[in-house]
Amino acid sequence: MCKSYRCLAFPLLFFLLSCAQGGREEEETLLLFAAASLTESMGGVVDRFEERAPYRVTVNLAGSHTLATQILEGAPADLFASADRVQIDRVIDGGLCEEAVPFATNRLVLLVPAGNPAGIERWNDLRTSGIRVVLAGPHVPAGAYARVLLDRLGIRGAVEENVVSIEQTVKGVVGKVVLGEADAGVVFATDRTPSVARKTISIEAPDSAAVRAMYFVGVVKAAPNRPGADAFVRFLLSQDGRDILSRFGFGSP
């Protein structure tokens, strides 16, 4: 998952900070907290940014709710890229993040395993008794957006009766479907990467119920590398940054 750039698990964050204090490492390292659905695309953005700027970027990937909690609990970070406004607002309301700016959009699709053993052809089929549905948790952006969409379709109650697993990240939903442990899952369109596409089928949401997911980025007020954080945000919002995100299926805000 982290072939092209450095990823960091939460327990290692404080180790990185302690090693960086007092040396050039702190000045040159940029610590980005990014939503799990940005895993592949942020690799492309980081690679290009590092080619042009005197910083190296370490990325902490997780669900946006988890990342917000980590920052609120004192984890060192320069930037927070969230898959929705709710989670970054938690950090802003806690006084730990500057005002957020939108940088990308996404949409939801219904993901089913290749071969479609449950015979799902449309979203309303999720109401059928015995269908195994997987959703991200209600605090996870993909899960929150999914519940809005299901409400718009008028099928949320029936679908929730068929939910067999609640995942902490959207990537967890993808994994369940790919492994055949679910008949369907609601994910972001960008999560159907080429490797996932070979093992799945996606079904678009009806236009009347479609949800436009908005991604936001904000600089953490106590950012150890404020100049680097500002430079990364400028690049992310630039045409080059948006072109990279577009290649991974994201839209512009």
- Residue 209 lies inside a defined structural domain of this protein: no
Tell me: do 54 and 95 sit in the same domain: yes
Tell me: do 93 and 116 sit in the same domain: no
What pLDDT score was predicted for residue 106? 98
- Reading phi first (left if > 0) and then psi (alpha if -120 to 50, else beta), residue 127 is in alpha
Mean pLDDT over 180-203 rounds to 98
- Residue 253 lies inside a defined structural domain of this protein: no
Mean pLDDT over 41-50 rounds to 97
For residue 79 the two structure tokens come to 């930037």
Say what the pTM is. 0.89
Tell me: do 64 and 181 sit in the same domain: no
- Residue 33 lies inside a defined structural domain of this protein: yes
Tell me: do 197 and 131 sit in the same domain: yes
Distance, in Å, from the CA atom of 47 to the CA atom of 249, rounded to the nearest integer, reads 18
Regarding beta strands 200-204 and 101-113, do their DSSP bridges make them parallel or antiparallel, or are they unpaired? antiparallel
CATH number, position 81 = 3.40.190.10
User: Are the beta carbons of 215 and 83 closer than 8 angstroms?
Assistant: yes
Tell me: do 10 and 101 sit in the same domain: yes
> Torsion angle of alpha carbons 92, 75, 43, 175, nearest 10°?
-90
Tell me: do 16 and 139 sit in the same domain: no
Tell me: do 128 and 96 sit in the same domain: no
Model confidence at 16, pLDDT cuts 50, 70, 90, reads: very low
- Residue 154 lies inside a defined structural domain of this protein: yes
What pLDDT score was predicted for residue 17? 45
Place of tokens 């029936």: 158
Tell me: do 113 and 200 sit in the same domain: yes
For residue 232 the two structure tokens come to 């990364």
What pLDDT score was predicted for residue 97? 98
Tell me: do 167 and 91 sit in the same domain: no
Q: How far apart are the first and last CA of the chain?
A: 26
Model confidence at 6, pLDDT cuts 50, 70, 90, reads: low
Tell me: do 175 and 243 sit in the same domain: no
Work out the burial of residue 146: count CB atoms within 10 Å of its CB; fewer than 13 is exposed, 13-18 middle, 19 or more buried. Answer: buried
Distance, in Å, from the CA atom of 5 to the CA atom of 160, rounded to the nearest integer, reads 37
pLDDT in tens, 48-102: 999 999 999 999 999 999 999 999 999 999 999 999 999 999 999 999 999 999 9
Number of domains within the chain? 2
Tally of CB atoms within 10 A around 66: 19
- Residue 32 lies inside a defined structural domain of this protein: yes
Tell me: do 20 and 48 sit in the same domain: yes
Domain that holds residue 197: 106-204
For residue 163 the two structure tokens come to 């939910």
- Residue 252 lies inside a defined structural domain of this protein: no
Mean pLDDT over 155-179 rounds to 98
- Residue 122 lies inside a defined structural domain of this protein: yes
